[in-house]
Structure formats: C-alpha cells, structure tokens
Amino acid sequence: MSAGTAALPRRSELPVERRWDIESVYPDDAAWEAEYAAVAGRLGELEQFRGRLGESAATLLAGLQRRDEILAAVAKLGVYASLRRSEDATNATYAALADRATGLRARAGAAASFYQPEILALDPATLDAYLAESPDLAVYRHYFAQLGRLRGHVRSAEVEETLAAASDVTGTPGTIRGALENADLALGRITDEEGREVELGQGNLGRFLRSPDRAVRRAAWERSADAYLGLRHTFAAALGGGVKRDVFYARARRYDSSLEAALAPNAIPTAVFHNLLDTVWRNFPTWHRYFAVRRRILGLDRLHGWDLTAPLSTAEPRIPFERGVEMIAESLAPLGEEYVGIVRRGIADRWVDGWANIGKGGGAFSAGTRGTHPFISMSYQDDLPSVSTLAHELGHSLHSYYTWQAQPFVYSRYGMFVAEAASNMHQALLGAHLLERHDDPAFVTAIVEERMGNHLRYLFTMPILARFELDCHERIERGEALSAAGMTRLLADLYRQGYGDEVAIDEERMGITWARFPHLFANFYVFQYATGIAGAAALARRVREEGEPAARRYVEFLKTGDAAFPIDALRAAGVDLRDPAPVQAAFDILAGYVDRLEETTKYEGRRTN
C-alpha cells in the first residue's frame, strides 16, 4: 500500500480490505447505540455498594467485580467511538459519538468514585484479613497496593466524585486541539517533484518531508509549520488549558508538583525523569557528530530543518506493505513461533488501518481494550520508515494482546512507562536483523538512517519536549501565564542547545513544534519514549544474545500488564531504569550507528536539488 502523491481519498472510497475491521467491536452504529443505552442504565447498580464496601470480603469482591464489569463495557463503547472519530475527524456524526462516549466515561468514573476512598478507609489489617478469607479477592492484591500509594492523595468520596465528573470538562483542551489539527487545520498546497500541485494533509505530509527534492522538502516543511503558526494562539490556549488541568489535579490531590503527581502512582521516582534529561544533554555531542555526517553526505554548508528528514541513500528501497510485514516477521523470529504467528494473524484479521484518507490523522497509534483485539492506525508509504512505524505499533499491539489474554480488567491497562519499551523493542530487533543481513551500501545507509530517525524522535526530540513540558508546568505552578510567543521562544532555545552549531535555527517554525504533539496533553508522557527506547535496546540485546530464556522473560513482561509497578516489571525482564546506565548504553548504540553511517558513506558527498 502507499498513499502516493494524488489527492487524498475520502474514507468511503477506500476498499474494505484496506480498513480495520471495526465491525468486530460492534457490527454497526445501531448496535453501539443499543449497548450505550444499556450500559448507561447500569451505572446506578454501583450505588448499592456505596458505604458498604468494608462490610465483608464478599461485599468488597462483589462491588469490585460489578464495577470492573461496567467499566469494561464503558471502555469498549469508547474504543468504537474514538476509532470511528480517528477515521475521519471531519465526520460530525462520529465526533458526536466520541463526545458521548467521553461523557459516559466521566459519568461512570463519578459513579465509581467512592471506591477508592472507602477502600483506603479500611484498616490495613482488615484488608489483609479479607484477602486471606477470599481467594477470589486475592487478584486485587496489587490493586490494593497501588491504592496504598495514593493514601494521603485520595480525597473524600464527595470530592472524588466531583473530580471524576470534572474529567469530561478537563479533557476538553485535548479534544479541541485534536479537532483543530485534524479537521480545521489546512496545511497548504505545494508543487511536487513532477510539477503537480498537491494538497498537504496529515496523511501525506511525511512523504513530502522525506522527498529527495530539497525544494519539495522545504516547501512542505515551511507550509506545514506556517499553518500551525497561523493558529498558534488557539493551539497555545488549548495546551495552556491542558497544563492547567494537570496542575489543578496535582493540587487537588495534594502533590508537591505536577511531575510528582504524574509519576508517583506508578512508583516511578522523579529522579528517573531528571537522570534521563541529564544523560541526554551530556550526549548532545553524539547528535552534533551525526548532524555533521548528514551535512557532508548531503553536500550542504549548513543543515536546515527540512534537511533533517532528507533521504541519505541515493537508492532508498521501495517496500510494499506485504514485504514490510515479512521483514517484521523475520526480525521477530527470536521471540518464537507463537509470537510471530500472532503478528501474522493480526495482519490477516485486519488489525491495521494503513491507508491515508481525508480527515485521518497523520500519526500512528495502537488502540483497543480487553474484549477487542488491538487496532493500528497509520499511513503506510512503501518505505523503510513505514515498516519501522508498523513494527512499532505492532509492538504496542502484541503488548496489549498478551496483557488482555493474561490479566483481568483491573490490570488490563499498562502504564506508559512500559508501553514504549515494547514498541521500541520491535524496532530494535528489526534494525539489528536488517543490518545483519544486508551489506549493500545504499540499503545499509537507508537502514541506519531509519534507526537514526527513530532515535532522533525518541532520544532527541522527546527529551527536549520533556524539558519544555516541565518548564510549562513549573510556570503555571508559580502563577505565571503561558503564551504562544513564550512557548515558541522557549522551545527554540532548547533546540539551539540540541542542534549546536550544526543546524540553522528558524525560531518560529522550529519553536512551534510544541503545537504538533498531542502527546503533551498526556501528563509527562513524552520522556517515557526515551526511557522506553533505552529499555528496548537492552531487552533486544538480551533476546538476540540469550535466545529462548530471554524471549520467555520478555513475553512474561508483556503478560504482566498493570499487575506490577512498571519499574519492577522491566527489572524482572532484565532492565533497571532507576539507573541511568541503560540510557547511556542506548547512546553508545547510537554512536555506533553514527560510526556505521560514517564508514558506509565515507567517500559520499552529493548535492541535493
């Protein structure tokens, strides 16, 4: 499959085989509506447990099981609605459906809000006695441990109900930002390599940013950046609202900072965050060396923003979707036949929505819930970066698949900290596999370039955004205001540190990058891409060196879901991210890629158009 250079099709024009099988969740909208009415009518069932959860082990178990049953049904309704909206953000019907699903989730959260304070009000000795009395209640042991970390931060039942109900409102800034980018933002038109005028969209922008024609790349880079700049005040208002939401909840729950509020529930020390940024900043010289090699290969005196995505290989391989799947499957062989078989079955069963259309977002994600199979959204472009993106999302999907098979609903949503380790694990295995089997300089250059591009996102851009995010939260915590100009200037300054003297800084167009990342609406998520890629590098090395024992540990890690704290789950698989050593080891691998690129292209220097 490929999106090509032609005008993007409407969703209805795509053949069914090139769309995910969302009908496996609900056969049609009418079925969703019927289930919505039924589930909304069940929210009152939770009220019978209010004030009674501490009565006995049997009552506590019944209350938890009823809550999880209802919340699982709410989650399934949300998956269908959100996936429908992601197919085409211009479709008002599905925008409304998603909004109703969000509202139902907020009402369900409010209806169940008394659970945490009532359970935390129980004497720990009483809770231990209940666990000993009821074998079926023992499944909630880690859940009770998670709640224990919230002791002192969970408020009264009345306040918790208010906070839960407010989630429908506090989620609005992110919803506005998504609608703005995917439905209302016009990225502009450019002239492609063949002289045709084409309209830029989220689904085809990446293809033009990677064009070998420098004029095309520059036009795509500048037009798209200018589009975000044109709406910078609205994007800034949305992000400012998201940051204020985080600060509000941190204060409502009596945390010292938004960072602590984001990490403490999952037992992630704030030192992990700061150690990561310190390690990244110490290793900026490795990036400066890479930028210098890239500049030499491209034959340029100075790199600009549009040159960072220029293809370095003079013969970039064309990889159709089916061949890309085979490459991924071959690279995952060290994880065993069962694992690879699940990947192949997922492709055959249409887990992947891989074709661009009007209104579809340009990013990629894996979604779903226990009771559905995973779903992947992306825009495959017949190139190596697309293969890597597919591998990444399949990593998330296999993580979800194994978790949903092994864990009850209460542990079916694993934390962000472990999520990015699983996705980057696939990419690490893919890169190592391809480099091992190819010696053609052009193809090796393309492989290393893809690896560097992935690391540029996760070990360069994401840490820079993490420092930006920290600064924004600290400003609001100090009572200061956020503005489009201030955030743009801040991010441009951080890029100056990262790029050094190797890349020309276009302050406004580089600085507006904050508007392009919906990740910033997930409280302190972006730094976990960097810890994830570091953890993945270590896991992949062990699997390739040790074979079956390490593969078995890795699959057990995937099955853990949220049944262990993220740091502990990764440590059981063989990686301790409380120590900055794995992050430094990832940079050592990165330096090796730069060495390989430098050696492979030693005598290459060329002009770009």
User: Which active-site residues does the annotation give?
Assistant: 393
Contact by Cβ (8 Å): 391, 430? yes
Two structure tokens written together for 165: 């109900």
- Residue by residue, DSSP assigns 475-524 as HHHTT----HHHHHHHHHHHHHHHHTTSB---HHHHHGGGGG-GGGGSTT
Residue 250 neighbours by CB distance under 10 Å = 22
For residues 403 and 300, give the distance between their C-alpha atoms in angstroms, rounded to a whole number. 48
The sheet with strand 365-367 has its strands ordered as 352-353, 375-377, 365-367
Token readout for 504 is: 């020309």
Say if residues 577 and 531 touch (Cβ distance below 8 Å). Answer: yes
**Is residue 535 within 8 Å of 577, Cβ to Cβ?**
yes
Contact 473, 247 (CB under 8 A): yes
> Assign residue 51 a region: left if phi > 0, alpha if psi is -120 to 50, beta otherwise?
left
Tell me the residue type at 23.
E
Burial (0-12, 13-18, 19+ Cβ within 10 Å), 325 = buried
Half-sphere exposure of 388 (CA within 13 A, CB side): 21
> Which residue(s) pair with 503 in the sheet?
303
Say how many C-beta atoms besides its own lie within 10 A of residue 170's C-beta: 17
| Phi, psi of 606, rounded to the nearest 5 degrees | -145, 160
Query: Residue 198's beta-bridge partner residues?
Result: 190
Q: Encoding tokens for residue 408? A: 């009850």
Closest CA to 555 of 425, 433, 415, 428: 425
- The widest CA-to-CA distance across the chain, in whole angstroms, is 77
Tokens 């993220």, located at residue: 566
Instruction: Give me the amino acid identity at 267.
Output: A
